[in-house]
Amino acid sequence: MLLFVMIYMAFCALNFGYDVGTFGGVQGMQSFTTMFGQHDPNTGLYVLPGWLSSVMTATPFLGKALGCICAGALAERWGRRAAVLGLCISSIVGALLQVTANSAAQFTVGRVITFAMTGMAIVVVPIYQAETAPKVLRGMFTSTIQLMIVLGQLIATLVTYGTQDIPEPRGWQIPVGLQLTIPVVILAFLPLLPESPRWLLSHGRKGDALRSLRKLRGSASDEEVSKEIEAIEYAPANEQQGSWSDVFSGKHRVRTMVAVLVMFGQQITGQAFPSQYGVVFYLSQGFGSQAFLFNVISNVIALAAVVITLFHVDSVGRRPVLLVGGAFMGAFLFILGGMGTLVSSTTNVHERNMIVASLMMFSFFFNLSWAPISYVVVSETAALCVKEKTNLLACVVSVLTTFITSFTCPYLINPQYAGLGSKVGFVYGSFAFAMVGLAYFLIPELKGRTLEEVDQLFESKVPLRKFGGVRTMTAEELYQGDLAPRGRGIGGGKLHDNGSDAS
């Protein structure tokens, strides 16, 4: 059941990656640009003007923000399963509008509605996975959302690579239309998905919570399941749903800041450049049809990076991966920018290959670190009583950041505007190094902790970077009244700082 839950919830994010990967390739297809773009007399080809590329790429993120808001409300009031149902409906409607589009306006509206689905996914999937996964597997569970995003991008790049030379509209309609497949599969298996026991408890449905947890824990005895339910119920965080003022209150302010910071850092470091404009950028560097192949290779590398993180995040921890990965991201972006300062970089084959390699290595380390770890941190940081609201706020900040980077990217790289080209690496690389510094001081290590232990950590007043050395008590220990001299956590007394700096 746990394996099913992990795969099923991650599958909800597959269309997210597939849509991003699809449009990244589709906007470089002649079948698409002939229908929606303009003729360029210099090259004899049809191209999307910079302003239209910005609108079609960036505007959907407003729909993603709306999806975040709707998912937060659905997940809080009617449950996590209701939010999953909502994302399926949004995905189907948006895909139908896109595949039948005869105008750029209709296609963009379809993308906006489809992206509402992506907003729902990044809110409800991490919440559900964090609430149902055993603490020793929570990092792996939550990392699967990025795994499926990248897998969706890879599938999309393979499809667009195969249809790029089809001259008729079906050249772009085939990859776009395949988006209808995934939500149908999700809907078919939705009745098998147990509701979150923690959500059921927060709504006074203890009997339903017991039945749900029995499904999730498989061979565990009734006594063990009852004990876990009692322990969760005992934790103060499960007493009642908090208000928006609680999100910014003194008790939760730091937790909100951590969630917002990590989701902001995920997007400000420039992932929109390779993921959404990679094909267009490679085409501008004179690589021709190789641009689509590079896009495929980049996503294969990214998928390998996420798989590595998937199996090591719960042993290595969150902070080391963020810090090391972020440093390498900044380094390769600076190498990319350095190549852009060379006059011969557009003609010298070795320098052009270095540009491609730098961009691919940035994608590797992004998907090794900030891409999956951000979802892990945001899912385990927020208190349960304000989890939906905190995740909603963090995801909206992430979406707005992505909107800004996606909208401005064509104006930064295109020669008719800022004309930075590869030198845009200096811009995003600077943000990457800045986020490494902020992560060192402000992103805590929460591996191996129950969500109830996380509550104790934030109440301990220990500096965030030293959370890894704090001794906490499990909710079971608190419930059983185990108040030995080693410390008492939420129930009273002080937590102990072992003096280690878990960086």
Q: In this model, does residue 239 exceed pLDDT 60?
A: no
Q: Is the pTM of this model over 0.85?
A: no
Confidence of residue 503 (pLDDT cuts 50, 70, 90): very low
Q: In this model, does residue 355 exceed pLDDT 50?
A: yes
Q: pLDDT tens for residues 63-110?
A: 888 888 888 888 888 888 999 999 899 989 999 999 998 888 899 999
**In this predicted structure, which of 20-34, 209-223, 450-464, 488-502 has the lowest mean pLDDT?**
488-502
Closest Cα partner for 178 from 194, 198, 163?
Answer: 163
CA-based end-to-end distance of the chain: 34
Q: How many CB atoms neighbour CB 289 within 10 A?
A: 12
Give, as one character, the DSSP assignment of residue 502: -
pLDDT at residue 438, as a whole number:
94
Q: In this model, does residue 223 exceed pLDDT 60?
A: yes
Confidence of residue 322 (pLDDT cuts 50, 70, 90): very high
pLDDT at residue 496, as a whole number:
44
Give the residue with greater pLDDT, 175 vs 415.
175
Q: What 3 state SS string does 401-441 have? A: HHHHHHHHHHHHHCCCCCCCHHHHHHHHHHHHHHHHHHHHH
Confidence of residue 294 (pLDDT cuts 50, 70, 90): confident
Average pLDDT rounded to a whole number, residues 10-19:
80
CATH 1.20.1250.20 domain range(s) in the chain: 2-193+239-442
Q: Token pair of 296, please? A: 């495929």
Average pLDDT rounded to a whole number, residues 243-270:
87
pLDDT at residue 71, as a whole number:
84
Average pLDDT rounded to a whole number, residues 161-190:
88
Contact 477, 456 (CB under 8 A): no
**In this predicted structure, which of 191-195, 200-204, 448-452 has the lowest mean pLDDT?**
448-452
Contact 21, 155 (CB under 8 A): yes
Q: pLDDT tens for residues 123-141?
A: 888 888 878 877 777 777 7
Average pLDDT rounded to a whole number, residues 393-420:
80
Q: pLDDT tens for residues 449-500?
A: 877 788 888 888 888 888 877 777 665 565 555 444 343 343 444 444 444 4
Q: Per-residue DSSP letters for 281-325?
A: HHHHTT-TTHHHHHHHHHHHHHHHHHHHHHTTHHHH-HHHHHHHH
Confidence of residue 170 (pLDDT cuts 50, 70, 90): confident
pLDDT at residue 189, as a whole number:
92
Closest Cα partner for 260 from 103, 101, 399, 93?
Answer: 399
Give the residue with greater pLDDT, 240 vs 314.
314
**In this predicted structure, which of 35-44, 397-406, 486-495 has the lowest mean pLDDT?**
486-495
Bridge partners of residue 38, in order along the sequence = 47
Closest Cα partner for 242 from 385, 443, 34?
Answer: 385
CA distance 148 to 185: 15
The number of residues making up the chain comes to 503
Q: In this model, does residue 320 exceed pLDDT 70?
A: yes
Pairing of the two strands 470-471 and 496-497:
antiparallel
Query: In Å, how far are 231, 405, 474 from 481, measured between CA atoms?
Result: 11, 51, 11
Q: pLDDT tens for residues 138-155?
A: 777 777 778 888 888 888
Q: How many CB atoms neighbour CB 49 within 10 A?
A: 16
Select, from the ranges 40-49, 132-141, 162-171, 185-194, the one with the highest average predicted confidence (pLDDT). Answer: 185-194
Average pLDDT rounded to a whole number, residues 411-440:
86
Contact 471, 453 (CB under 8 A): no
pLDDT at residue 481, as a whole number:
54
CA distance 472 to 460: 9
pLDDT at residue 97, as a whole number:
93
DSSP, collapsed to helix, strand or coil, labels residue 470 as strand
CATH architecture of 2-193+239-442: Up-down Bundle (1.20)
- Which CB contacts under 8 angstroms, 24+ apart, belong to 397-402? 397/260, 397/263, 397/264, 398/122, 398/263, 398/264, 398/266, 398/267, 399/61, 399/62, 399/64, 399/65, 399/68, 399/119, 400/61, 400/65, 401/263, 401/264, 401/267, 401/268, 402/61, 402/64, 402/267, 402/272
pLDDT at residue 118, as a whole number:
82
Average pLDDT rounded to a whole number, residues 381-403:
82
pLDDT at residue 491, as a whole number:
40
